[in-house]
Structure formats: C-alpha cells, structure tokens
Amino acid sequence: DTLRYATPWPEGSIGADAAHFYARTVNEYSDGEMKIKVYPMSLLSASEASAGTRDGLTDVGFIFAGYFPAEYPHTNFLNETSMQLHRFSSEKVSDGRGVYAFQGAITEFIFFNCPECLNEYADQNQVYTSNAAASMYGLLCNSQITSKEDLVGKRMRVAGSNWSRWTSEFGASSLSMTINDLSEALGQGVIDCTISSAPELINLRLIDVITDITMNVPGGLFAGAGSTNINLDVWKDLSVDQRTVLLRAGALMTAEFPWQYVRQESVALQKAAQQGIKIHQADQALVDATAEFAQNDMKTIVSYYEEKYGLSDAEKTLSRFNQTLDKWMALVQDVDSKSDLQTLYWDEIFSKVDVETYGM
C-alpha cells in the first residue's frame, strides 16, 4: 500500500527532510508493508493542502491551520497564545525547551481536550495524527533593535496577529509579505525586519540580506499545523495495525519538527555570526514590556475568538491549556536528545490514543 504525502516545503528544507523521515519511519514500523510517496512542493501548495487532503488529491497532507481561519479556529486560538511562554523564566525555556513544551502541550490538548479541534479536522474530511512546530520567533533586521526606542517607526513583516499587535504596541508598523518577496524587501530596505524563526536565515536565504539579529523578543512560535493529516476515508480503510503505525510515526514526526528547527536555529545563528551579522540581546526594559504585553494580549485573543468565531468559554479553555503547558514545561526540562523527546511524546500523548475508535 502506497500513500501519497503532499508537503508544501521545497526539497532540502527541514519540512521536506521531515517528510522523507516520516516515509522511512512508516515503512520501517510496518515491516515494509506500507509505503509513503512524498511530493515536496510539487503536488499541493500550502493554500491548496487542506482542500486537497479533503478531496483525496493526497492521502496525507501538511496543513497550516493559520491559512484557514474559518476552518480551524480552535487550533488557531491555541497557537496564537504562544507568546505566553514569557510567563516562564528564560532559564526554563532555553535550549529549545520552550518549543518542546509548547509543542507537547498543543498536541496533547488537541488530541484529548479539544474535541472541537478534532471536529474541525473531521469536517474537512481529515484526521489529525501529528503536529509541527518551528523554533522561537525573533527579529531578523537591517539595523540594531534592542530597546523600545529602536522599535519606533520600524516596518516589520509579520506572519501572525499576535506579532502584529506587538509591533503596534511599540510604535512600529506591521505588514504582510509573501516569502517570495521577503529576501528582496529586506535587502533593499523596503522593510526593516521580519519576525521569523532563525532557520529562515538559511531556508529563505535571509542571511545574505540582513545585518542584525535579536532573538529574545518578541518570542512566541508557530505550532498551529497538522504535519501529517490523513484523509478520513483513507484512515477508515486502514487496519488497526496500520493506523497504529501511522500514530507511532506521527509521534516521531511531532518530535522531528521542533527538534530539527531548534538544532538548525543554532547552526543558522552560528553561521550568521561568522558572516559578521551582529547578534544582540534586547534590553531588560523591552523584555519586561514584551512579557507584560503578552499577558495582556491573552485577553485580546480570548475576546477576539469568542466574538469572531463564536468559541464558547475561550477563557476557560485557555486556563486549561495553560495548565497543560505548565505540566509540559516540567516534563521537558530533562530532555537531552531527540530520542528523549520522541519517547516523551509517545508516552505522554500518542500511546494514550485509542486506535480502535480514534477518527473512526
């Protein structure tokens, strides 16, 4: 049995490498019985992926929930709260542990505490079997930005509402831009910064066009993506053993994305430093103000999703999610290797999914 896996990532990127890793894993766990054929960037684009998986153009699809606010409001709601990682000490979230904790929390929450999330996927004829997350978002810029004063009047490219509100809070302006335009826009000074994860320095070749990096603000990350959503008809046709294989591979995939992103982050920053790009730390005043902003922003997010998408009792959902995140922050403190992370996600989340009934 060969399943098609469409991913919007180009060959050579972390996303495409992860897709090949997923294919190998599924093959191995099924003793060669199941095969995955990966289509990197060539079958469905990011904006086609959701409907393409729904209609069976692909069996497995990589779905950025953020592209589809009306389809996946519950997932997007959880994802948009990622700047609450400022609640934790920088000690606790360092070395990627903030990313691992958030990834664990959102995955567990979607599987077990957010039936609406799963329903949203089912409405799109899909079943959720893994989550993707990138590393922390920082400022990749053309000038030094370390204080509140530096931010005033700057033009920033952002890819999420929470970061957009952060820029206006500090007197900068935000604008959207597709990744095709990003490198030119930075190189020519159309914009001053992009708020992105550090691996984009390499993925999108931003390393050639920027001069200054500040990674400790604004923080937050992107984790609102089902990295291997499976077409529901395909899922229902699989045997229990086959579905188990896909969940086991899903657990590894859920570890793979954040692990590779965090690893790539240090590689990218090192390379940037070698090329003479200046790497700064934002001053304490800006860090504190950002943390305060993030805390207040949670109220904005709650009321926005309640009013706009009719989420019921979003505040309560958020406080339950916060507890899950607290639990995960404790769990990831001892993670030292990729296999630690894989084991943790399997033990705490995927092994608890009832394969007999899940998605059926």
Positions in the binding site for other proteins (CB under 8 A): 4, 10-12, 39-43, 45, 47-48, 51-52, 54-57, 66-71, 153, 155, 158, 160-161, 164-165, 168, 173-181, 183-185, 187-190, 202-205, 208-209, 308
Token representation of residue 331? 């769990």
> Closest separation between CB of residue 54 and other proteins, Å?
7
Q: How far is the CB of 239 from other proteins (least distance, A)?
A: 22
In the complex with other proteins, the residue whose CB is nearer, 188 or 270, is 188
Longest dimension (CA), the chain: 60
CA–CA separation, 78 vs 117, rounded Å?
A: 10
Select 119 or 339, whichever has its Cβ closest to other proteins. Answer: 119
Q: How far is the CB of 212 from other proteins (least distance, A)?
A: 16
Dig out the tokens for 112 from the structure: 């077990």
Indicate the residue among 101 and 195 with the shorter CB distance to other proteins. Answer: 195
Q: Which is nearer to other proteins, 125 or 254 (CB)?
A: 125
Order across the sheet with 193-197: list the strands.
173-175, 155-157, 193-197, 137-141, 212-218, 278-280
* Rounded Cα–Cα distance for residues 242 and 246 (Å): 6
Q: Roughly how many angstroms between the first and final C-alpha of the chain, as a whole number?
A: 20
Please state the closest distance from residue 165 (CB atom) to other proteins, in A. 5
Tokens of 330: 């404790």
Min CB(294)–other proteins separation in Å: 15
CB of 223 to other proteins, least distance (A): 16
Q: Which residue spans within 77-192 are E strands per DSSP?
A: 126-127, 131-132, 137-141, 155-157, 173-175
Rounded CA separation 22/34 (Å): 12
CB 102 within 8 A of CB 82: yes
Looking at beta carbons only, is 6 or 101 nearer to other proteins? 6
CA distance 204 to 40: 16
Choice between 29 and 68, CB closer to other proteins: 68
